Amino acid sequence: MGKLISIITFTLIGLGVGYAIFGKWAGEYVSLQTLFSFGGNAVQGAFRSLSGIEDVRNKVLLCGAAGAVVGLVLGFKRK
């Protein structure tokens, strides 16, 4: 159970750090709803892709994934 808590904690930290670093688009932070909304219609998808929001989303999610890996490694090391 400690490993799971470690993974979740570091994932959230990674997402927060990623959002703080990469969450700005056109000088303002992208709303979390826009950042984490998947799907939608073709026009919305094309806008997100062309506007660069997809790139921002990918960077934030990669930071969250890196945090999950750190949490996993630290969870195993603390055993």
Indicate whether 13 pLDDT > 90: yes
Residue 25 to residue 46: CA distance in whole angstroms: 16
DSSP letter at 30?
A: P
Residue 32 to residue 30: CA distance in whole angstroms: 6
Amino acid at the residue 33: Q
How much is the pTM? Answer: 0.80
Residue 10 to residue 5: CA distance in whole angstroms: 9
The residue segments making up the domain with residue 31 are: 2-77
E-assigned strands of the chain?
24-25, 28-29
Structurally, the chain folds into a number of domains equal to: 1
pLDDT digits (tens, 9 = 90+) for 15-64: 999 999 999 888 889 888 888 777 666 666 666 666 778 888 899 999 99
